[in-house]
Amino acid sequence: MTDRLIVVGTILFAGLYLFATSKISSSIVGDVIGPKVFPNLLAIALILAALLLSAELIHTKGGSTEKKKELKEQGKYLLLVGAVGCWTLIYIVILEPLGYLISSTLYLLVLMSFFNRKKHRMNVMVSIMFTVGVYVFFTKVIGIALARGLLPF
């Protein structure tokens, strides 16, 4: 049941996303591809992912005792997805005030510490190195400014 809701929700979100991207104005001068291409590709990828999930649901349809066991564990997964979703909302809220480097490092560190327990040193190193790498790539290579927050750079 949850998978069906995810499929419907994803398709609805992708449809709304496509509608919103249709409102993006196209520049006459400048980029040949335009600002709509990436958002449209993302919406198409969302729809394809939902269709693949629905195909998997149709293919694995059945009611065995194994399926009942999966349903019990599904409650745990829903709780986990809800917790990750709440943590992501907190990340979105703290992104601007704290800045990209601090908030993203904290976000990744908490998630990695939960999913990759007992490897604290590795979690810290990966979260810092990934965040700094993405920051350098966006700010220095591509030239896109990210949220500064508390740090002066």
Read off the pLDDT of residues 60-112 as tens digits, 9 standing for 90 and up.
765 555 666 666 677 777 788 889 999 999 999 999 999 999 999 999 999 99
Q: Are residues 13 and 54 in the same domain?
A: yes
Q: Are residues 101 and 144 in the same domain?
A: yes
Q: What is the pLDDT of residue 30?
A: 61
Q: Which residues contact 146 (CB under 8 A, 6 or more apart)?
A: 99, 100, 135, 138, 139
* Poorest-pLDDT segment among 64-68, 74-78, 132-136, 138-142: 64-68
Q: Are residues 110 and 38 in the same domain?
A: no
Q: Return the percentage of the chain with pLDDT > 90, whole number.
A: 33
pTM over 0.85: no
Q: What is the pLDDT averaged over residues 113-118?
A: 89
**Residues of the domain holding 47:** 1-61
Domain boundary among 25, 44, 61: 61
Q: What is the pLDDT of residue 89?
A: 94
Q: Are residues 53 and 92 in the same domain?
A: no
Q: Are residues 69 and 38 in the same domain?
A: no
Inform me whether the pLDDT recorded for 10 exceeds 90.
no
Q: Are residues 55 and 71 in the same domain?
A: no
* Residue pLDDT, tens place only, 21-44: 888 777 666 666 666 777 888 888
Quote the number of domains for the chain.
2
